[in-house]
A and B are shown apart, each in its own frame.
Chain A
Amino acid sequence: AQRVTQPEKLLSVFKGAPVELKCNYSYSGSPELFWYVQYSRQRLQLLLRHISRESIKGFTADLNKGETSFHLKKPFAQEEDSAMYYCALQGGGADGLTFGKGTHLIIQP
């Protein structure tokens, strides 16, 4: 069975501080990992995927297969980063995504 764990329900940091949202996964094969973000009153949208190794809006995430983690990081938080963040796993190519419960990130001024 595949599982995604986001241990923090809520994370509050000050503007300009570093941010790390944790994600651990359980999957027997080689998964594809994603971070999705949902801003207030907007639909869920893809932030980044591990295979592209991009930096989007200053966020990066590195897949650590040894620790089965895919933590999301940003060195300097901005107020517009306040949102719900979901880590997701896709195990079989076209199959549906398995999501974590999400972390509500609040950036305080």
Chain B
Amino acid sequence: DTGVSQDPRHKITKRGQNVTFRCDPISEHNRLYWYRQTLGQGPEFLTYFQNEAQLEKSRLLSDRFSAERPKGSFSTLEIQRTEQGDSAMYLCASSWSGGTYEQYFGPGTRLTVT
């Protein structure tokens, strides 16, 4: 296991299209987090899962954003009807609830909406 992985690493889409990103956490980690990072800002927390349960989703930016983790392993983040303001780096992180809560981050997916 080489750490948290995200796919794709880069995505260019046209305004109005839907996009979906995938995150594969470290295999023994049961918690999974999504963040968004825009230029010049720190990561901004969006949502998190413990196993397959989405325990916090009030921070999702709008109802165009949704996330799933159907089997408690990988997760997907979908943005519907993308807008130019959605252009950002989307980060995934995972952690183990029985440990120190340290979050391990993936490399991110850079989204560009044209």
Contact = CB atoms under 8 A, between A and B. Distances in A.
Interface of A: 4, 9, 32, 36, 43-46, 49, 51-52, 86, 88, 90, 93-102
A98 B55 contact: no
Given A43-B107, A43-B108, A102-B42, A93 B101 contact: yes
A100 B42 CA distance: 6
Q: Nearest 3 CB-CB pairs, A to B?
A: A96-B45, A99-B42, A44-B105
Grouping DSSP codes into helix (H, G, I), strand (E, B) and loop, the A interface class, with mixed when no group exceeds half, is loop
Interface of B: 3-4, 31, 33, 35, 40-48, 50, 55-56, 59, 91, 97, 100-108
A71 B62 CA distance: 34
Given A44-B105, A95-B56, A101-B40, 14 more contacts: A36-B105, A43-B3, A46-B102, A52-B100, A86-B42, A90-B101, A93-B101, A96-B47, A97-B33, A97-B45, A97-B103, A100-B42, A101-B41, A102-B42
